[in-house]
Structure 1
Amino acid sequence: MFQAIKTLNRPFVFVFFCFLSLSLFATEPGTRTKECSKSEPGVPAEFLLSRGLREQVDGFQAAQRRKPEDSKLSFERSVSFLESYHLCLLEAGKEPSALSAETLSLNYLELGSLEKAWEWSEKAISQSPEVSKDQILLQTRIRIRQGELAKASEVLENSLYKFPNDPDFLYLLGNLNFERKLWNQSILYYTALSFVIERRDTHSKYKFLTAKALGELNYKLDHPKIAIKRYGEYIAGYKNDIEVLFRLAQIYFVLGDFKHCRMYLEQIREKNPRDIDASHMLAEIYFMDSRDSAPIYFATLRKEKKIPKEGIVFLLDKLISGSKTGLETKLRSYIQENPGRLSPRVALLELAEKEKLSDYEILNADTAQYAYEYRQYLTAEKILRSGLSKINSKENADEDKSLYYEKISSCQEMLGLWNHAVMSTKESLRLTNETEKKFRLRFRLAYLYLQGNLKKESHAVSVLSETIKENPNPTHYYLRGLAYFQLSKYKESVDDFTAAIKIDPNNFNYYFYRATAFDKLKQFSDTESDLKTTLSLNPNASNAMNYLGYLYAEKDINPEEATKLLNQAISLEPDNPAFQDSLGWVLYRKKDFNRALLHLNFAASLALERGFEDPVIYEHLGDVYLAKKDPVNALQFFKLSESKLKAEPNKDLLAKIKKLQKEISE
């Protein structure tokens, strides 16, 4: 852990003082004056400093040779020389130097005297014209040794704007926040570090460590596709890391991508034939996804003697081999003891279908529900369609069929098959005669029209308008308000959000989205009022904090309140690129350009990690560089912003590009 913190390196600084002291001893004989009560006559106080530095180097060298007692003695002698040196300075009416204070702090750290180490590190900083990287890392080490990880993070964060692209700082902050289980904060710094590595330090020692950390963090934060990308970068350098290969198999399993899941499990079996977990997980995958190949794989496991005498693999092997005696009872018992497993439910459902068990429909619904909850949407849809085929022949089963189509639609929605989801919802709506269910399905149909690339906002408005006549529910007004907003009909959008608020005045979402519509209508006071109401109803509404803070920055009003709001939003969602961009823009408005660049670079790296590039962030970066009188970088980001625009050309941006090009050419 904390590999970036190294021993402070002052190559042979003490040698200079050694030569200095020898030259002083070589002066012509005679009466020598005594400079200090702690030194010999004619010997300058700096000789004590040089001895302290030399003893410190000896201490580190002894530690490297694994001689802890010798190391401890050298550090203790170094402390003694440095304390004598400081006494000499005191007698001369002088303060300790930054170098001697920092050296003494490091000695105390190595000796475990952490309070004294911190005290002298503070003295070193107070004596320095500018705080150095080594001083910050020293204080970080002290806080870590004290077990104060939050304070260690604070030390680094307070100085990060001075070293925004320093890999050691970013790695340590990622690591510290990971140890504190602050996943979103950790992902912010690791993502920024990855950004630096890709653009400035492609051979960084942190390259693979960062990729692995980002894989783990994105897995924890439920960003499976990004986790796959980052783990893939890591195993490009560490192909035999079984733990990561298994994690990749798990992620693909969760995504329902059994093909890639099998691929990684088979790699594990090839690299480590004795691995039982991968062999058994692969057995479940073959059973659920590849029934034609499953008998061959289970035969291989029998040959390898990897079929246990009990457990799920044993039960699946019995079903595949056709041995059904007592299997129903054993499967039901196993499910009761292991309610979270999907494969035994699939096995029992298959057995129920073959044996025509009376509770097949119940098992079908339950198994599909479990598959859906485990995000196995293809498996869930397959199960539901099998159940649907069983009731198609029944009379008066329209309501049951309607329920099946509604559930199938949900699976299709999660798979991003928007048109299929719309068609299934329409079929469900056609089959039902229940009034409340019709309202629910119409709402769902309108919601689907607004998703993905369908762009059928007018259809959504039409469906909701029909429903509102019969059932003026606030959620119906709310969704129609969103549809109108997407159609750029902002007045109609405001009217619908207002209608929703009249029915349900305590729903903070209605005020937030009405604020966004007011903003489009250039009604600032109404926008501000609704955002403040949103925050009064929900003090943790980070989107409202960000929106209001950014509006204040854009209008150059309430700068302190804007900064406060945006810092609050970032404390809730540190890895939100929009929030980082807003804070960067506020800092730019306050002419705090270095801190502005830090947060805007955070925003750019986080956006890239999420798979998109925001032209607004790039334009803001260009504006900051322009303010810092760096026209080359400013032009680069203005051009990048212009290249990412999808709507109409930004005339102001084009004017800035043209002006800069002319200035640079001249």
Structure 2
Amino acid sequence: MFQAIKTLNHPFLFVFFCFLTVLQAFADPIPKKDCSLLEPGVPSEFFLSRAINEQITAYKANNAKKSEVAKVSFESSISYLDKYHLCQKEKGIRPSSLSAELQAQNYLELGDTTKAWEWSELAKNESPELTKEIVILQMRVRLREQNLVKATEVLEKDLVLFPNDPDFLYLLGNLYFERKMWNQSLLYYTALSFVIERRDTSSKYKYITAKALGDLNYKLDYPKISIKHFNEYNSVYKNDMEVLFRLAQIYFVLGDFKQSKFYLEQIREKNLRDIDASHMLAEIYFLNARDVAPQFFQTLRGEKKIPKEGLITLLNQLVNGSTIGLEEKLKNFINANPARLTPRVALLELAEKNNSPSYHEFNAETAQYAYEYRQYVLALSILKRGYQKLTETEGQTELKVAYLEKISACQEMLGQWNHSILSMKEALALSTNLDKNLKLRFRLAYLYLQGNLKKEETSVGILSNTLQENPNPTHFYLRGLSYFQLGKYEESVKDYSQAIQMDPNNANFYFYRASAYDKLKQFEETESDLKKTISLNPNASNAMNYLGYLYAEKDKHPEEANTLLNKAISLEPDNPAYQDSLGWVYYRKKEFNLALLHLNFAASLALERGFEDPVIYEHLGDVYLAKKDPVNAVQFYKLSLAKDKQSTNKELVSKIKRVEKEISQ
């Protein structure tokens, strides 16, 4: 057998080689050209592959800080993509979304933003489904152009497609922060915080967001919310001196000197060289702990932290009992730094020690500054001390009235309603000036409407007596508000109408009358007054929101409702009620994704403010139900019911039962 195989058989070999030749012809036909720029048999994707490799090389070179190498590789990638697109064109094929996106990236890295934008637009148009990467690429192009406005617009335009995407929300929050548009920035960072809490608890943005929300709430005068976020950030980043100092500042502003000292002492422990924290502590000891202030100033002297001049130097002099030339120095410092409170307190103390005839003038001025800085406890203490000095002498009745009026105002701001009312009554009993007496009565009537006093009838009585003596539009307005709170809407309308008759250009009177008309189900009158409010005050966002929501509820003028609510939101983007209203308009227009976007904004903003609105949750349930998502719908309905202060909401209970039945089937 083996021998037979080794023996050559020429006729057999001839036939065998002929067979092989035919087989090879079938197996390897003559290769065709895929593109005029390529050798036969090489596909056009060769250029695409080379372009991708060059781009990868370029990014690696950038990371290694080899800019010239990167530049050459990006240019090479462009060249290969140009050839790839020419090959595709020969076959009648347009550039793909992927290749266009790659080309846009190349041009962006080379700084050619015009071509980068053109290619990104092509990528967007060719993509069967818009991707997050393309949108962020376009944002980067606008940023490279240093156009923050257009970069923001790029993201906001397509946000509805990525409503819970942390990258989108972070970028928008950051862009608005850079633009110093704090309310808009707060909106997006709050929404991001909402997403992190519910969907992405280990997010890379968690603590960045906490710090940003701390800053934003501080800037927008929500100090307690700011504290919450800064503390969340501080729980991980304990040595961030900037945040520790900001917490100290916030507590100082709130008048909580104990907590302010807590953070300032932390800074001193962590950084002995810190001057600002030491000097702020010195001010706190001077304002709030005079018995131990000398000891702390002695510590500062030992640490050589008493400067040669400035406020701390002046306070050190006063604390140590040396008053020579101090009054003039304090006055000069105040003239140069009129916004500072502590030197005014020092000057007041000096005036008291010297029995200055200007003491009461200094007292009123210092208390007013403390009040404006929301140092209500300090202001109250200053005023009570001054008032006590007056009671020790005869006369000066009107000055006593002025003191009591200011004391009442501080007590009001501290939520001490009954004390505030007593102070105001005492002022009224002393006052002999008719004009002053009328103003004090107005204030007293106003105070009876505050808190949970439930004294609306008392307020009505005071105002009714006052109006008999001196009809006044603001008194009619306040009595109208009292009637409104009592549920007497017809009487409320009458009083607002009287106020309008006396002062027809006051936008607020029309707005509140519209609220009363709405309670009486008088839509045309409500609509008319809200329109009048807006005509008198083009920035009346509350009236825009009210009217837009009414239109949505009644399925009237959908486009106008949309315009009104968008204008309201442009004025107050972080207002949860406005976001809820706009979400409801989109729901009525069956634009459910946009509805969810704005309703989720509303829910997150409400939580940020420390409350949960059952109306927002019910609206979210309605939208999910319309999107044929009964599971989420019933979840929000139940949440709404749990937060509803009404004892029973029969309509909502019925809705829940109906949806649960649908789920079970």
Taking the aligned partners of 2:155 and 2:334, their CA distance within structure 1 comes to 50
Report what 2:215 is aligned to: 216
Taking the aligned partners of 2:331 and 2:636, their CA distance within structure 1 comes to 62
SS in 2 for 1:591: coil
Taking the aligned partners of 1:404 and 1:88, their CA distance within structure 2 comes to 88
Report what 1:12 is aligned to: none
Taking the aligned partners of 1:497 and 1:561, their CA distance within structure 2 comes to 27
- Once the two structures are TM-superposed, the CA of residue 432 in structure 1 deviates from its matched residue by 0.2
Taking the aligned partners of 2:186 and 2:465, their CA distance within structure 1 comes to 46
Taking the aligned partners of 1:263 and 1:551, their CA distance within structure 2 comes to 50
After superposition, the C-alpha distances for 1:408-448 in whole angstroms (9 at most, x for unaligned) are 01111111211111111111111101111111111111111
Letter in 1 for 2:92: G
1:64 equivalenced with 2:70 (yes/no): no
Report what 2:293 is aligned to: 294
Report what 2:148 is aligned to: 149
Taking the aligned partners of 1:239 and 1:121, their CA distance within structure 2 comes to 43
After superposition, the C-alpha distances for 1:231-271 in whole angstroms (9 at most, x for unaligned) are 11111111111111111111111111111111111111111
After superposition, the C-alpha distances for 1:513-555 in whole angstroms (9 at most, x for unaligned) are 1111111100011111111111111111111111111111111
Letter in 1 for 2:269: E
SS in 2 for 1:564: helix
Report what 1:636 is aligned to: 635
Taking the aligned partners of 2:529 and 2:364, their CA distance within structure 1 comes to 44
- Once the two structures are TM-superposed, the CA of residue 109 in structure 1 deviates from its matched residue by 0.7
Report what 2:46 is aligned to: 47
Report what 2:384 is aligned to: 385
Taking the aligned partners of 1:74 and 1:432, their CA distance within structure 2 comes to 86
- Once the two structures are TM-superposed, the CA of residue 64 in structure 1 deviates from its matched residue by 1.7
Report what 2:437 is aligned to: 438
| 1:268-417 alignment runs, 5 A limit | 268-417=267-416
| 1:397-546 alignment runs, 5 A limit | 397-546=396-545
- Once the two structures are TM-superposed, the CA of residue 161 in structure 1 deviates from its matched residue by 1.1
After superposition, the C-alpha distances for 1:151-200 in whole angstroms (9 at most, x for unaligned) are 11111111111111100000000000111111111100000000000111
| 1:564-643 alignment runs, 5 A limit | 564-643=563-642
After superposition, the C-alpha distances for 1:447-473 in whole angstroms (9 at most, x for unaligned) are 111112222111111111111111111
Taking the aligned partners of 1:646 and 1:142, their CA distance within structure 2 comes to 50
Report what 1:14 is aligned to: none
Taking the aligned partners of 2:576 and 2:457, their CA distance within structure 1 comes to 31
Taking the aligned partners of 2:350 and 2:64, their CA distance within structure 1 comes to 67
Taking the aligned partners of 2:603 and 2:418, their CA distance within structure 1 comes to 33
SS in 1 for 2:612: coil
Taking the aligned partners of 2:537 and 2:336, their CA distance within structure 1 comes to 41
SS in 1 for 2:238: coil
- Once the two structures are TM-superposed, the CA of residue 398 in structure 1 deviates from its matched residue by 1.9
Taking the aligned partners of 1:117 and 1:188, their CA distance within structure 2 comes to 30
Taking the aligned partners of 2:571 and 2:329, their CA distance within structure 1 comes to 48
Cα RMSD of the aligned pairs, angstroms, is 1.3
Taking the aligned partners of 1:550 and 1:148, their CA distance within structure 2 comes to 34
Taking the aligned partners of 2:435 and 2:610, their CA distance within structure 1 comes to 40
Report what 2:648 is aligned to: 649
Report what 1:192 is aligned to: 191
Report what 1:161 is aligned to: 160
SS in 2 for 1:122: helix
- Once the two structures are TM-superposed, the CA of residue 28 in structure 1 deviates from its matched residue by 6.4
Taking the aligned partners of 2:469 and 2:212, their CA distance within structure 1 comes to 53
Taking the aligned partners of 1:340 and 1:64, their CA distance within structure 2 comes to 49
Identity, % of aligned positions: 68
Letter in 2 for 1:328: E
Letter in 1 for 2:550: L
Taking the aligned partners of 1:357 and 1:509, their CA distance within structure 2 comes to 45
Moved more, 207-216 or 410-419: 410-419
Taking the aligned partners of 2:319 and 2:541, their CA distance within structure 1 comes to 53
Letter in 2 for 1:492: E
Letter in 2 for 1:125: K
Letter in 2 for 1:397: Q
Report what 1:256 is aligned to: 255
Taking the aligned partners of 1:338 and 1:177, their CA distance within structure 2 comes to 32
Report what 1:15 is aligned to: none
Where does structure 1 differ by over 4 angstroms across 4 or more consecutive aligned residues?
27-30
Taking the aligned partners of 1:352 and 1:576, their CA distance within structure 2 comes to 46
Structure 1-normalised TM-score? 0.94
SS in 2 for 1:305: coil
What number of residue pairs does the alignment pair up? 640
Letter in 1 for 2:185: S
Report what 1:204 is aligned to: 203
After superposition, the C-alpha distances for 1:194-215 in whole angstroms (9 at most, x for unaligned) are 0000111111100011011111
Letter in 2 for 1:659: R
**Bigger Rg, structure 1 or 2:** 2
Taking the aligned partners of 2:181 and 2:323, their CA distance within structure 1 comes to 50
- Once the two structures are TM-superposed, the CA of residue 314 in structure 1 deviates from its matched residue by 1.5
Report what 1:8 is aligned to: none
Report what 2:180 is aligned to: 181
Taking the aligned partners of 2:276 and 2:177, their CA distance within structure 1 comes to 27
Report what 1:95 is aligned to: 94
SS in 2 for 1:347: helix
Report what 1:554 is aligned to: 553
SS in 2 for 1:649: coil
- Once the two structures are TM-superposed, the CA of residue 647 in structure 1 deviates from its matched residue by 2.3
Taking the aligned partners of 1:365 and 1:565, their CA distance within structure 2 comes to 45
Letter in 2 for 1:151: K
Taking the aligned partners of 2:538 and 2:337, their CA distance within structure 1 comes to 40
Moved more, 212-221 or 38-47: 38-47
Report what 1:10 is aligned to: none
- Once the two structures are TM-superposed, the CA of residue 358 in structure 1 deviates from its matched residue by 2.3
Which 5+ residue runs of structure 2 have no aligned equivalent? 1-25
Taking the aligned partners of 1:309 and 1:377, their CA distance within structure 2 comes to 32
Taking the aligned partners of 1:357 and 1:539, their CA distance within structure 2 comes to 50
- Once the two structures are TM-superposed, the CA of residue 29 in structure 1 deviates from its matched residue by 5.8
1:128 equivalenced with 2:127 (yes/no): yes
Letter in 1 for 2:614: P
SS in 2 for 1:204: coil
SS in 2 for 1:639: helix
Taking the aligned partners of 2:415 and 2:59, their CA distance within structure 1 comes to 59
Report what 2:17 is aligned to: none
Letter in 2 for 1:191: T
Letter in 2 for 1:205: K
After superposition, the C-alpha distances for 1:547-592 in whole angstroms (9 at most, x for unaligned) are 1111111111111111111111111111000000000011011111
- Once the two structures are TM-superposed, the CA of residue 66 in structure 1 deviates from its matched residue by 1.9
Taking the aligned partners of 2:337 and 2:98, their CA distance within structure 1 comes to 63
Taking the aligned partners of 2:170 and 2:47, their CA distance within structure 1 comes to 37
Taking the aligned partners of 1:149 and 1:307, their CA distance within structure 2 comes to 45
Taking the aligned partners of 1:28 and 1:45, their CA distance within structure 2 comes to 22
Structure 2-normalised TM-score? 0.95
SS in 1 for 2:158: helix
After superposition, the C-alpha distances for 1:129-162 in whole angstroms (9 at most, x for unaligned) are 1101111111111111111111111111111111
- Once the two structures are TM-superposed, the CA of residue 324 in structure 1 deviates from its matched residue by 2.3
Taking the aligned partners of 2:494 and 2:75, their CA distance within structure 1 comes to 77
Taking the aligned partners of 1:537 and 1:620, their CA distance within structure 2 comes to 32
Taking the aligned partners of 1:557 and 1:352, their CA distance within structure 2 comes to 66
